[in-house]
Amino acid sequence: MKAIAVERGEDKPVVIEKPRPEPDAGEALVRTLRVGVDGTDHEVIAGGHGGFPEGEDHLVLGHEAVGVVVDPNDTELEEGDIVVPTVRRPPASGTNEYFEENQPDMAPDGMYAERGIVGAHGFMSEYFTSPSDYLVRIPRSQAELGFLIEPISITEKAREHAYASRSAFDWNPSSALVLGNGSLGLLTLAMLRADDKGYEDLYCLGRRDRPDPTIDIIEKLGATYVDSRETPVEEIPGAHEDMDFIYEATGFPKHAIQSVQALAPNGVAALLGVPSDWEFEVDAGAFHREMVLHNKALVGSVNSHVKHFEAATVTFTKLPRWFLRDLVTGVHPLSEFEAAFEDDDTTIKTAIEFGTV
């Protein structure tokens, strides 16, 4: 079968041939339909994130997948089920308490493998196998855009944890700010517009000039675009308003600190970016004081698990069709896979199609 991989010492994805996998006991064989491409894939290809499976000279890419079960292999799944795989798996050294307690998304760095990212091959292949416990059924109506379920699940978890940090008191947020106008930021903005919290005012920070398709989406969602070159995060309250909830999806280290200044009293910021080391000066006293005297919170969140994928299938139905259409700017056949990795101002979200239902 064909697969898309990055090889050791290289910085571009290539198509390779691999044997079609055979499912082990407890695993199902899945025929891949589509696999999304995101910023993590670009970081893995560039060598700035992730790592190869032990003893392998290549890594099959892709962690945002949707497929159809072709061999249930005596699992609870059925042939023809549309499924989305979760990403984390036990590390090469074996299972640990996080997997045994069914909380792999809470495992610290080094205690897991992530398919298509670190230590395990991904889903950019014509077929893949997976333990059935890590395959989430989705409605057939979501098969075409099922590769969006994984990124939606990331925000489901971040939102769950952020809201939990405010659960000790009566918290009624009305304003929210998304830092980053990439595909994850835009998905999150659309999710917040449909959120049960009923946000009145939404904002999204970016660094793009008009005309721009992401700005068009932001404004069509009824949100305000904030250009960080004109209004840095810490100045947003003066220019607009204090934020009850901030979702960081930039990986820009200063945003973690600046978010505290932009939060309203009792607000919470969820941090999802994974930055490189960067030293800069911080007024630690002001930072500490602001956190304490105004009951603010910062929550870090990474990955997601089955319950977040299940929640994502429900959230998917609440997102406007026009939004999904505008968000996905290209679905490319395997023969033209390079186009899915292009990164320019007209590209928002792409996917590679391996097959159809």
| Percent helix / strand / coil, the chain, rounded to 5 | 30, 30, 40
Task: Report the candidate in 119, 55, 59, 39 with the shortest Cα–Cα distance to residue 87.
Answer: 119
34 in a known ligand binding site: no
301 in a known ligand binding site: yes
337 and 277 in a common domain:
no
Mean pLDDT of 109-120: 97
272 in a known ligand binding site: yes
Q: Please compute, for residue 279, the number of CA atoms within 13 A of its CA located in the half-sphere on the CB side.
A: 0
* pLDDT score of 245 more than 90: yes
115 in a known ligand binding site: no
Asked whether residue 81 is domain-assigned, the answer is: yes
104 and 7 in a common domain:
yes
274 in a known ligand binding site: yes
Domain span at residue 229 reads 154-300
Asked whether residue 147 is domain-assigned, the answer is: no
182 in a known ligand binding site: yes
159 in a known ligand binding site: no
16 and 96 in a common domain:
yes
194 and 88 in a common domain:
no
β-partners of residue 35 are 65, 352
pLDDT per residue as tens digits for the range 123-165:
999 999 999 999 999 999 999 999 999 999 999 999 999 999 9
Q: Where are the beta strands (DSSP E) in the chain?
A: 2-7, 14-17, 27-37, 58-60, 64-71, 82-85, 88-89, 113-115, 119-120, 127-131, 135-137, 175-179, 201-206, 224-227, 243-248, 263-271, 297-300, 328-333, 349-353
pLDDT per residue as tens digits for the range 255-312:
999 999 999 999 999 999 999 999 999 999 999 999 999 999 999 999 999 999 999 9
Asked whether residue 312 is domain-assigned, the answer is: no
Asked whether residue 20 is domain-assigned, the answer is: yes
338 and 296 in a common domain:
no
226 in a known ligand binding site: no
327 and 288 in a common domain:
no
40 in a known ligand binding site: yes
pLDDT per residue as tens digits for the range 40-85:
999 999 998 999 999 999 999 999 999 999 999 999 999 999 999 9
DSSP category for residue 125:
B
* pLDDT score of 107 more than 90: yes
158 and 290 in a common domain:
yes
The sheet with strand 263-271 has its strands ordered as 224-227, 201-206, 175-179, 243-248, 263-271, 297-300
70 in a known ligand binding site: no
pLDDT per residue as tens digits for the range 344-357:
989 999 999 999 99
What percent of the chain shows pLDDT beyond 70? 100
CATH number, position 254: 3.40.50.720
271 and 336 in a common domain:
no
As a whole number, the mean pLDDT across the chain is 97
162 and 266 in a common domain:
yes
208 in a known ligand binding site: yes
Distance CA 95, CA 117 (A): 18
- Backbone phi, psi, residue 325, to 5°: -65, -45
263 and 222 in a common domain:
yes
pLDDT at 78: 98
**How many domains, in total, are found in the chain?**
2
277 and 219 in a common domain:
yes
73 in a known ligand binding site: no
Distance CA 213, CA 336 (A): 23
pLDDT per residue as tens digits for the range 327-345:
999 999 999 999 999 989 8
Asked whether residue 209 is domain-assigned, the answer is: yes
CATH number, position 62: 3.90.180.10
31 in a known ligand binding site: no
